[in-house]
Amino acid sequence: MKQNSFDDNFRVKRGLAEMLKGGVIMDVVTVEHAKIAEDAGAVSVMALERVPADIRRSGGVARMADPALIESIKNAVTIPVMAKVRIGHFAEAQILEALQVDFIDESEVLTPADEEYHIDKTPFKTPFVCGATNLGEALRRISEGAALIRSKGEAGTGDIVEAVRHLRSITSDIKALSSAGPQELFGFAKRLQAPLELVQEVAATGWLPVPLFCAGGIATPADAALVMQLGAEAVFVGSGIFKSENPAKTAKAITEAVAHLEQPDILVKVSSGLGTPMEGKTVQSLDVHMASRGW
Amino acid sequence: MSPKKDATYIGVLALQGNFRMHEYAVERLGATPIEVKLPSDLDIVQGLIIPGGESTTMSILLATSELIEPMSKLIEDGLPVFGTCAGMILLASNLSDGRSDQISLGAIDISVQRNAFGRQPNSFECDLSVAKIGLHPFRGVFIRAPLVYSVGRDVEVLSRLSDERGASPVLCKQDNILVGSFHPELTGDDRIHKLFLSMVYSQ
């Protein structure tokens, strides 16, 4: 392995992911959104041109956001700023690195640029987050240099079911690895289509070598508390905030729900009187399943 | 919970950030970590760690969780507190480049600038010399780190940068307060946590 937990550059990249734990990363499309998110307690904002719900509605090719928009959002807030690139589009990633964003999301929400290869993330100084629907996919992204994994869910739907499915799949496979014997790990590596060294590391530590966050479908404080209790270490909220009736209040409520995930009395308080959440679309009704992009 | 007689309870502020790795360090050193999310969690703690994370987020959650007043009172009464990165920002008496509504506990007489080394691509590691914990260098991991640009007369500077980035203080102590701009919890080297526990034991 080119990099491991003791490699300097990788520890610095993973370090920022560690600092975001217990927080909410919010999708924003304007400077005004970014300020609302920061005021509500976001640990980071994801700068993009359209939230996933709008990408679904309008269709067409979804690409990296205009660098000028990202720059204006960087200048408007003091918290870390992330931005998305298309799967496999290393030139977009080079642009974001030159722009000095804090984290790059190689995201299935944008239209994939490469059907065969994800970006080799090791030469970049900027950390990458990648989506995964299962443990094998997570470990393949980590072997390519991802410093953070988020379960994919189904972005832009407000339907939590896929997020739950992916999170449960990842954590139950980690549990299976933890109780497997050394000999069985060769078979696991083959089935998961993941590097043996990483499979062995997960078996030994009982967790991924990087943090695991959750994305795709979180629309309420209860959704956030659910996925945190299922093992997510932080949440990404895309359309759920700025497609709700009261974005500022919803954003702050989700921030509090993530901090106090096991305190039902606090969840009652923050969930009350938020107005209408994002309308949402059930996963069954979709034409495009973003989670199946990438491998 | 009812405290055990011979145990040492170290609170770790757990509203947001990298609190779990501090808990592991505390456990490795034989003390018992307690996650602090609400005022009642502070009841039996003999020391408190404020972890790295986003200081703006922690600021907001400290207010909504009604922790500011009880924490300030304990600090005033001499509770040993160790703040790393965002924790240092929250404990500093003076903050520049923060948000106007950001909370400052004013527990240590230092002036701090947030994100002073630049954005994440400028985060770095370097060896630090910390005489108090021995001759062997300590690996400093700096993530979007704050910069200490001035310290009061009563502040003891335990370590400074010594490279092209300058010579600013990175580990400071004043009475019951210890602050660092880097992340000892990410290294597995527990000597700085041990130094903090010695402050707790000497109380």
Note down pLDDT in tens along chain B; length 203 residues: 678 888 999 999 999 999 999 999 999 999 999 999 999 999 999 999 999 999 999 999 999 999 999 999 999 999 999 999 999 999 999 998 767 778 889 999 999 999 899 999 999 999 999 999 999 999 999 999 999 999 999 999 999 999 999 999 999 999 999 999 999 999 999 999 999 999 999 98
Predicted confidence at residue A6, as pLDDT, reads 45
A vs B: CB pairs below 8 A: 110
Cα dihedral A248→A253→A254→A255 (10° resolution) = 90
CATH number, domain B9-201: 3.40.50.880
Look up the ipTM and state it.
0.96
Radius of gyration of chain A (CA): 18
Q: Say yes or no: B132 contacts chain A, CB-CB below 8 A.
A: no
Predicted confidence at residue B100, as pLDDT, reads 74
Residues of B in contact with A44 (CB under 8 A): 54
Predicted confidence at residue B1, as pLDDT, reads 63
Cβ burial A19-58 (10 Å sphere, 16+ → b, else e): bbbbbbbbbbbebebbbbbbbbbbbbbbbbbbbbbbbbee
10 Å CB burial of residue A142 (0-12, 13-18, 19+) is buried
DSSP H stretches of helix in A144-193:
161-178, 184-192
Residues of A in contact with B61 (CB under 8 A): 41, 255-256, 259
Contact B77, B175 (CB under 8 A): no
Question: For residue A12, what pLDDT band results from cuts at 50, 70 and 90?
Answer: very high
DSSP state for residue A284 in the 8-state scheme: G
* Nearest CB neighbour to B16, from listed A22, A100, A252: A22
Q: Say yes or no: A22 contacts chain B, CB-CB below 8 A.
A: yes
Whether the predicted pLDDT of A91 surpasses 50: yes
Predicted confidence at residue A216, as pLDDT, reads 96
CA dihedral over A229, A206, A106, B124, signed as positive or negative: positive
Predicted confidence at residue A157, as pLDDT, reads 93
Whether the predicted pLDDT of A295 surpasses 60: yes
Are B61 and A38 an interchain contact pair (Cβ–Cβ within 8 Å)?
no
Contact B178, B83 (CB under 8 A): yes
Whether the predicted pLDDT of A75 surpasses 50: yes
d(CA A81, CA B7): 42
Residues of B in contact with A38 (CB under 8 A): 56, 99
Residue B136 bears catalytic tag: no
Output the DSSP codes for chain B.
Answer: -PPPTT--EEEEE-SSSSHHHHHHHHHHTT-EEEEESSGGGGTT-SEEEE-SS-HHHHHHHHHHTT-HHHHHHHHHTT--EEEETHHHHHHEEEEESS-TT------EEEEEETTTT-SGGG-EEEEE--GGG-SS-EEEEESS--EEEEE-TT-EEEEE--BTTB--EEEEEETTEEEESS-GGGTS--HHHHHHHHHHHT-
Whether the predicted pLDDT of A4 surpasses 80: no
> pLDDT (tens digit, 9 = 90+) per residue, A215-273?
999 999 999 999 999 999 999 998 999 999 999 999 999 999 999 999 999 999 999 99
Q: How many CB atoms lie within 10 A of CB A273?
A: 9
From chain A residues 183-242, the ones with a CB under 8 A of any chain B CB are none
Predicted confidence at residue A76, as pLDDT, reads 96
Whether the predicted pLDDT of A8 surpasses 90: no
Whether the predicted pLDDT of A2 surpasses 60: no
